[in-house]
């Protein structure tokens, strides 16, 4: 990993989620073809990008039954324990409708309604992501979404990984389609003969998925841009070198476009971590992906003091931040921008990826400045309720009419006054 000295002028923000011009063109073409040709385009692109020839886009019950025969008890136990933790965390996020009544009899309120349908993207190109099924499905279920549709790219044998099917079944998901990438996002946004349109698309994915979500936004809602994974470790001189290296590599192995950054005031630690990363990298099965990611987006930034390190972290607004300093709690209040913050040496990032209960679908590429982790809120919407009393209208009608006329909207004013005349 390259070591750089912090300089207020260095550009530390990568501009990934906007993708290259070429990637943008590819995504626009894919979306256009799916809109025009529907299922035929989905099977065409699945053959082209996933090398899978599909007989049926929809997963059949038989495939799920078969998948259970390939999963052992230990795996099932781990999945079920994670599901329980994630459900427990998300159940705490629910908000209630509320109403307030004033002395004049007016009633105002906010009604919370689950979305009718949601399309959940589960990545599957370079790895299968059963954990992302849990992270998508559980908040949607807790919110009360009636129709949950899952999409994920198939393996070259035309199947989803058994663990993907089993996890979806454990969660009670019944509508699953074997399609991924920009074509899956287009299908969920516009509908095809087989895949009906949904109201909102959520879930992480690679650059093609991220760009497609951005392009269909407006036709449907989307959660956020959750693109290639990122980690920033903020560490002081006493932090454990092997742990830092391991955690940086945990995100680098996701994708060549993933980003792993260490921010520290300690030059000694910086050099030791750079060496250790190289050593641990050698034995990783996904060495090539991790290496490419580190070469492009891996950095060790050496600052002059802790305050400067905190400034760098806030500028990066990372998806994941680990604070590995003597007193992480003293720092957390100063972090304004991060998707998830992991405190202390036992809160390794994968704890959050799989098990703690918090959601791992998080904003990337600096969008943690304004976006939040996926949550139950993403699957609900709010409606305002107004019940004005006669007394309130008589008392306030002239003020309402005045404001309407300020805007030159006479019909608005008269709609109020017609009710006052009768009194
Ligand atoms: N931010 C988060 O919350 C979060 C969580 C989990 C995973 N991730 C990220 O999700 C991503 C998963 O990526 P993945 O590739 O493994 O799976 P993916 O399912 O996102 O993408 C695979 C699909 O990309 C499409 N594709 C691949 N090459 C293409 C090309 N040249 N042109 C057009 N389309 C093409 C194909 O349709 C393929 O099915 C990683 O970047 C990982 O870091 C992020
Ligand atoms: N770290 C990813 C979010 O960026 C989530 C994930 C899923 N599986 C492993 N990790
Ligand atoms: Zn991860």
User: What ipTM, to 2 d.p.?
Assistant: 0.97
In a shared domain, residues 207 and 296: no
Domain membership of residue 374 (yes or no) is: no
Ligand 1 atom index nearest CA of 362: 3
Q: Is the minimum distance from the CB of 4 to ligand 1 under 6 angstroms?
A: no
**Catalytic one of 170, 215, 319, 349:** 319
Helices 21-37 and 207-216 cross at an angle (nearest 10°) of: 60
- Using alpha carbons, select from 182, 148, 257 the residue that is nearest to residue 32: 182
What are the backbone dihedrals phi and psi of residue 324, each rounded to the nearest 5 degrees, phi first? Answer: -115, 70
Residues contacting 170, CB < 8 A, separation 6+: 76, 79, 80, 83
pLDDT category at 15 given cuts 50, 70, 90 is low
Co-location of 76 and 185 in the same domain: yes
Mutational pocket test of ligand 1: of 42, 46, 122, 125, the residue with most ligand atoms within 8 Å of the beta carbon? 125
Report the pLDDT averaged over residues 322-350: 97
Q: Is the CB of 360 under 6 A from ligand 1?
A: yes
Is 75 a domain residue?
A: yes
pLDDT of 198 above 60: yes
Are 92 and 147 within 8 A, CB to CB?
no
Question: What is the token pair recorded at 100?
Answer: 């307030």
pLDDT of 380 higher than 60: yes
Residue 422: per-residue pLDDT: 66
234 with 217, same domain? no
Are residues 122 and 258 part of one domain?
Answer: no
Do 114 and 218 lie in a common domain?
Answer: yes
Are the C-beta atoms of residues 16 and 227 closer than 8 Å to each other? yes
Instruction: Round to whole Å and give the CA distance between 235 and 321.
Output: 10
- Helix, strand, coil percentages, rounded to 5, for the chain: 45, 15, 35
CA separation for the pair 166, 80 (Å, rounded): 11
Q: Is 119 in the pocket of ligand 1 (CB under 6 A)?
A: no
Are 10 and 41 in a shared domain?
Answer: no
Computed over every residue of the chain, the mean pLDDT equals 95
Residue 333 lies in a domain: yes
What is the whole-number distance in angstroms between the Cα of residue 189 and the centre of ligand 1? Answer: 18
Q: Which of 160, 193, 224 is the last residue of a domain?
A: 224
Residues 150 and 246 grouped into a single domain: no
Three-state DSSP state, 320: strand
| Ligand 2 pocket mutation pick from 79, 131, 230, 322 by most atoms within 8 angstroms of CB | 131
Per-residue b or e along 182-191, where b marks 16 or more CB atoms closer than 10 Å to that residue's CB = bbbbbbbbbe
Largest CA distance in the chain: 85
Does 369 reside within a domain?
Answer: no
One domain, residues 336 and 400: no
Same domain (yes/no): 78, 44 = yes
Residue showing tokens 């998901």: 173
Q: Are residues 79 and 209 in the same domain?
A: yes
**Test site for ligand 1: of 17, 204, 249, most ligand atoms within 8 A of the Cβ:** 204
Q: pLDDT tens-digit profile of 394-405?
A: 999 999 999 999
Query: 226 in ligand 1 pocket by Cβ < 6 Å?
Result: yes
Ligand 1 nearest-atom number relative to CA 124:
19
Known binding positions for Zn(2+): 251, 254, 353, 412
Average pLDDT over residues 171-180: 97
Measured in Å, residue 254 CA sits from the centre of ligand 1 at: 9
CATH value at residue 240: 3.40.50.1980
Indicate the pLDDT class of residue 224, thresholds 50, 70 and 90.
confident
- Residues 22-61 have pLDDT tens digits of 999 999 999 999 999 999 999 999 999 999 999 899 999 9
Q: Judge if 125 and 267 occupy the same domain.
A: no
Q: Are residues 179 and 246 in the same domain?
A: no
| pLDDT of res. 421 | 87
Gap between the Cα atoms of 401 and 413, Å rounded:
4
Q: How far apart are CA 194 and CA 151, in angstroms?
A: 12
The residue from 332, 356, 380 where one domain ends is 356
Residue 378 belongs to some domain of the structure = no
Please indicate, yes or no, if residue 379 is contained in any of the structural domains: no
| Domain's final residue, options 224, 251, 281 | 224
For residue 373, is it within any domain? Answer: no
Domain total for the chain?
Answer: 3
Q: In this predicted model, which residue has the larger pLDDT, 225 or 95?
A: 95
* pLDDT per position as a tens digit, 102-134: 999 999 999 999 999 999 999 997 888 999 999
- The Cα 34–Cα 46 span in angstroms is 12
Residue 398's domain comprises 388-421
pLDDT at 349 over 90: yes
The whole-number average pLDDT for the span 286-298 is: 96
Q: Does position 155 have pLDDT exceeding 90, yes or no?
A: yes
Residue 347 maps to a domain: yes
């Amino acid at each position: 990993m390259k070591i750089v000295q912090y300089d207020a002028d260095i550009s530390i923000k990568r501009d990934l989620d906007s993708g290259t011009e070429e990637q943008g063109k590819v995504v626009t073409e894919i979306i256009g073809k799916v809109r025009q040709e529907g299922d035929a385009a989905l099977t065409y692109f699945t053959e082209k990008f996933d090398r899978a020839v599909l007989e049926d886009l929809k997963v059949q019950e038989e495939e799920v039954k078969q998948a259970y025969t390939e999963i052992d008890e230990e795996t099932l136990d781990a999945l079920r324990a994670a599901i329980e933790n994630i459900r427990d965390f998300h159940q705490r996020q629910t908000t209630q409708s509320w109403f307030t009544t004033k002395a004049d009899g007016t009633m105002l309120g906010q009604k919370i309604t689950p979305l009718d349908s949601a399309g959940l993207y589960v990545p599957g190109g370079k790895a299968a992501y059963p954990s992302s099924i849990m992270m998508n499905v559980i908040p949607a279920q807790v919110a009360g979404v009636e129709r949950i549709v899952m999409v994920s790219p198939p393996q070259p044998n035309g199947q989803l990984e058994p663990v993907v099917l089993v996890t979806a079944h454990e969660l009670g998901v019944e509508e699953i389609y074997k399609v991924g990438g920009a074509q899956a996002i287009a299908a969920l946004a516009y509908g095809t003969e087989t895949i009906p349109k949904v109201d909102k698309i959520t879930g992480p994915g690679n650059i093609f998925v991220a760009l497609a979500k951005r392009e269909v936004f407006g036709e449907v809602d989307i959660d956020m841009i959750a693109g290639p994974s990122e980690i920033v470790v903020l560490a002081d001189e006493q932090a454990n070198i092997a742990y830092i290296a391991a955690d940086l590599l945990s995100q680098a192995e996701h994708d060549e476009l993933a980003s792993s950054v260490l921010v520290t005031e300690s030059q000694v630690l910086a050099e030791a971590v750079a060496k250790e990363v190289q050593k641990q990298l050698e034995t990783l099965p996904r060495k090539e992906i991790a290496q490419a990611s580190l070469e492009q987006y891996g950095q060790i930034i050496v600052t002059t003091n802790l305050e400067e390190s905190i400034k760098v972290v806030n500028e990066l607004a990372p998806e994941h931040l680990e604070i590995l300093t003597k007193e992480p709690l003293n720092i957390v209040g100063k972090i304004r921008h991060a998707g998830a913050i992991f405190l202390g040496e036992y809160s390794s990032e994968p704890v959050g990826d799989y098990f703690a209960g918090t959601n791992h679908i998080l904003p990337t590429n600096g969008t943690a400045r304004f976006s939040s982790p996926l949550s139950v809120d993403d699957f609900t919407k709010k409606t305002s309720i107004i019940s004005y009393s006669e007394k309130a209208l008589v008392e306030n009608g002239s003020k309402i009419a005045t404001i309407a006329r300020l805007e030159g909207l006479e019909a608005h004013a008269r709609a109020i006054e017609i009710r006052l005349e009768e009194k």
